[in-house]
Amino acid sequence: MSTKLNNYLTILTAMGLLAVIANGCKPKNVSSATSGDGAEKAYVAPGKYDEFYNFVSGGFSGQMSVYGLPSGRLFRVIPVFSVDPEKGYGYSEESKPMLNTSHGFVPWDDLHHIALSETDGIHDGRWAFANGNNTPRIARVDLKTFRTAEIIEIPNSAGNHSSPFITENSEYVIAGTRFSVPMGSNTDVPISTYKQNFKGTVSFISVDKNNGAMSIAFQVLLPGVNFDLARAGKGKSHGWMFFSCYNSERANTLLEVNSSQKDKDFIMAVNWKKAEEYLAQGKGQKQTVAYAHNVYNEKTHSATSTIERTVTVLDPKDCPDMVYLMPCPKSPHGCDTDPTGEYIVGSGKLAAVIPVFSFTKFQKAIADKTFDGDYEGLPVLKYDAVLHGEVKKPGLGPLHTEFDANGNAYTSFFVSSEVVKWRISDLQVLDRVPTYYSVGHLCVPGGPTKKPWGKYMIAYNKITKDRYLPTGPELTQSAQLFDISGDKMKLILDFPTIGEPHYAEAIPADLISKNSTKIYKIEENENPYAAKGEKEAKVERKGNEVHVYMTSIRSHFVPDNIEGVKLGDVVYFHVTNLEQDWDVPHGFAVKGANNAELLIMPGETQTLAWKPDRTGVFPMYCTDFCSALHQEMQGYIRVSPASANVPLTFSTNKAPESAK
């Protein structure tokens, strides 16, 4: 490269950088500064409760976090798809099966979206569903315990992004595959045979209305495009599910360029009530697959993992009138239905307009057969025939849309880093605010339901830059809270979040707080290793396994002196917390354990496996400050050589008892 060109490039780069800095540091206009009464509006006095819970996806942390609104205070990080040594999740013997998959134990995933359960299209505060993107899974979190209750793996899927979106009576949670992949008996094919061999699926997971239990009711086999996001119809459009699709080019390399060729991709509409009819008629094909189904039992305080072997697949070729495509400009991302169920908002990532589709026109176009050919055998409706209208010049890079109860929509714009409020009826832009920086998902409490609770909007940003004190190369993620009670959106708070926040939902606090579990009743503990009272504390040897049935209460363990463990043994500490009072967990840790601690809730039993690697006396102690004498809550376990004849004994404050 010539020196001259090099210099020129340097100058250009410097200019570009300056522009970015100038743009980044300067507020774009006066309204971008927090409004005068912002602090007051976001302030929740010490000891007072927030008005809303905000359930926020943790992105590549794999977890779900719970914040209060409007304060932005973090209450809890719920471990879902990733191990959490702090809580022993994925480390205790009881919780390990939760992370089992057909690939074995997978300790991490990428959690993108939240779907709160609904009854009649309104939040009912029972469960929060979440997707694992990387190794396709759907999780159900119980909102009484704020714990992951169930995880189901999705077969015939890769990159479970178009998930989990929920129907208005929680009939189904859906899971659509982002990556199309080869399926069936021969999946070892050249990548270049994408167009012949790669297929996509969307899965309909039924939810038991009494206990939330999930089951894959059916999958729909589809052309090999990428499924991105989805929303259920509601009200008049209940019974339909809408999915955004991109890569209708079906490229398998450099998608950045190659899947951005066509002017329009699709919003796909699936009539799931029709699908149910076909299923009842036996139109589904049973396929042999393998997927893990993991369930946590609150009585035994243990998870079980079962590998399931069949899934029923519906092929639209055998099921007419079940799937239709609506053309949507430029690689649509968001696909959001408004509270009435009449409007479906598509957001082409590269589009300069926001197309809004009308469900009434969609139905008419189907009745009138206003088709524009087909795509891989699926009927394509004419764009103009299904369009309510376009929001003109809204901004650059529309991504996601949420709604309030007054007929307004809020759309995020990644490229122009702003949120735009517009009116659905006449598609007029009403207001716009900048975000810091590059906003992704939005959340209005109840925004995806028939009954938005409104009041606030939260923007979950993709880039933080100079927003907080710097912490080296890696920065916290950032959310911004806006007051939307007036005509103008007003920024009232910035708050940091864990992982990378994608979608989030918010729900009035009293729909959940009143049902919160405080303790597990010790009388109902059915863990086979529970010690219900110190009388039941004991140590047993089974071959080279030593089982310690241990109790904890403020502030001692029984037993707290154990001898006779031999090198080569595996020691299972089954610790039962005898407390029956709210907020009195005990912890348990032993020196040199190659895993984590246990954190045991009142009335619960949890198990830590420990394989000592040397002889000696090892301390064990309570890790969660429990009383004034917490520092006294400790014990010793002695490990002798394999050949030693030290008898296995245990005790607390008395002569050692012999183990069985």
Partner 1 sequence: MKKLILITGIATLIYACSGSSENKTSDTAAAETATATETPEEKQAADARGIGKFTNVEVGETLDAAMADAGTKVYDVKCASCHKLTDEKLVGPGWKDVTKRRTAEWIMNFSTNTDEMLEKDAEAQAMLEICMVRMPNQNLSDEDARTVYEFMRKNDGIK
Binding site for partner 1 (CB under 8 A): 519, 521-523, 532-535, 551, 553-556, 558, 578-581, 584, 627-629, 653
Pick between residue 217 and residue 522 the one whose CB is nearest to partner 1. Answer: 522
β-strands 226-232, 240-246 pairing: antiparallel
Pick between residue 335 and residue 584 the one whose CB is nearest to partner 1. Answer: 584
State whether the Cα torsion 175-459-514-302 is positive or negative: positive
Report how far residue 292's alpha carbon sits from residue 202's, in angstroms, rounded to the nearest whole number: 18
In the bound complex, what is the minimum distance in angstroms from residue 533's beta carbon to partner 1?
4
* 212, 225 contact by CB (below 8 A): no
DSSP 3-state assignment of 338?
coil
Report how far residue 84's alpha carbon sits from residue 380's, in angstroms, rounded to the nearest whole number: 46
Report how far residue 266's alpha carbon sits from residue 325's, in angstroms, rounded to the nearest whole number: 6
Tokens 């209708």 belong to residue: 248
In the bound complex, what is the minimum distance in angstroms from residue 511's beta carbon to partner 1?
23
Pick between residue 63 and residue 552 the one whose CB is nearest to partner 1. Answer: 552
Where does residue 134 rank: exposed (0-12), middle (13-18), buried (19+ CB within 10 A)?
Answer: middle
In the bound complex, what is the minimum distance in angstroms from residue 580's beta carbon to partner 1?
4
State whether the Cα torsion 30-32-33-36 is positive or negative: positive
DSSP one-letter code for 436: S
In the bound complex, what is the minimum distance in angstroms from residue 397's beta carbon to partner 1?
50
DSSP one-letter code for 593: -
In the bound complex, what is the minimum distance in angstroms from residue 519's beta carbon to partner 1?
6
Name which of 483, 214, 442, 239 is nearest 345 in CA terms: 442
Indicate the helix (H) or strand (E) that contains 209. Answer: none
- Residue 607 backbone zone (phi > 0: left; psi -120 to 50: alpha; other: beta): beta
Pick between residue 201 and residue 652 the one whose CB is nearest to partner 1. Answer: 652
Q: Which two tokens stand for residue 123?
A: 């939040």
Q: How many residues does the chain have?
A: 660
Pick between residue 554 and residue 638 the one whose CB is nearest to partner 1. Answer: 554
Pick between residue 122 and residue 519 the one whose CB is nearest to partner 1. Answer: 519
Pick between residue 300 and residue 555 the one whose CB is nearest to partner 1. Answer: 555
Q: Which two tokens stand for residue 410?
A: 């809020």
In the bound complex, what is the minimum distance in angstroms from residue 93's beta carbon to partner 1?
23
Name which of 438, 86, 589 is nearest 76 in CA terms: 86
- Residue 377 backbone zone (phi > 0: left; psi -120 to 50: alpha; other: beta): left
In the bound complex, what is the minimum distance in angstroms from residue 29's beta carbon to partner 1?
45
In the bound complex, what is the minimum distance in angstroms from residue 633's beta carbon to partner 1?
11
Pick between residue 424 and residue 522 the one whose CB is nearest to partner 1. Answer: 522
Pick between residue 377 and residue 533 the one whose CB is nearest to partner 1. Answer: 533
In the bound complex, what is the minimum distance in angstroms from residue 560's beta carbon to partner 1?
12
